[in-house]
Amino acid sequence: MNEWLLGAGTALWLGILTSISPCPLATNIAAVSYISRRVEKTRLAVFSGLLYTAGRTLTYLVLGVVLSASLLAVPQLSHFLQKYMNMLMGPLLIIVGMFLLELLTLPSGSGSNWGQKMQAHADKLGVWGAGLLGIVFALSFCPTSAALFFGSLLPLTIKSGSSVIYPGLYGIGTALPVLGFALVIAFGAKGLGAAFKRVSVFELWARRITGGLFIAIGVWMSVRFVLMA
């Protein structure tokens, strides 16, 4: 039991180490910005943060189960994810950033209610998008996260036979620092906005900053992983 608990603590710690290493800094900034952008509705920021954590956890959990069962070869999967997810991440972040800045919008229908309905769907998708963001960011392995997941966590998981809980704890660990920062920023911005009676203005700027960051990080990732690689 003690050994299992030690392993669980190690899995969680490996996740935190992954998150605070410099390698996934760009995607962490994007995630913090995305989660904390709902200044006016901090309940949504908390929900987005939990969905982001759930997305990451689910991804590592599935990978842990699949790899523990030897259904896929570790080196091949690791190189595939490191190469292609990072390549595709740049264009994806730019497109998401363009939607956040409303440079791209969903098509409005001919009916008067249709546009409002689409907007409501888009808002809802924005919250659920945090979960999707967690899944995509978890899959975009950089060298450090690949080493800590495939090299440290996976052997621990296979040795202990805990192919669900350990990868799950690792996923929670990778999201904890991001979640903490995002909620501090969201609540801090709301407090500041309330003090100045400008919460809606703060929200508008939070969304613009998030969109701008997504585009800047997307351009940087495209240059680094596609055009200059």
Q: For binding to other proteins (CB under 8 A), which residues are involved? A: 14, 17, 21-23, 74-79, 82, 86-88, 90-91, 94-95, 98, 103-104, 142-144, 146-148, 150-152, 155, 215, 219, 222, 224-227, 229
The answer to whether 95 and 209 have CB atoms below 8 angstroms apart is: no
User: Containing H/E element for 225?
Assistant: none
Query: What's the closest the beta carbon of residue 27 comes to other proteins, in angstroms?
Result: 13
Query: What's the closest the beta carbon of residue 94 comes to other proteins, in angstroms?
Result: 5
- Residue 42 or 144: the one with the smaller Cβ distance to other proteins is 144
- Residue 49 or 173: the one with the smaller Cβ distance to other proteins is 173
Query: What's the closest the beta carbon of residue 197 comes to other proteins, in angstroms?
Result: 29
Query: What's the closest the beta carbon of residue 148 comes to other proteins, in angstroms?
Result: 6
Instruction: 75-82: list long-range contacts, CB under 8 Å, 24+ apart.
Output: 78/141, 78/146, 78/150, 81/139, 81/140, 81/141, 81/146, 82/141, 82/142, 82/143, 82/146
- Residue 61 or 94: the one with the smaller Cβ distance to other proteins is 94
Contacts of 165 (CB under 8 A, 6+ apart): 8, 11
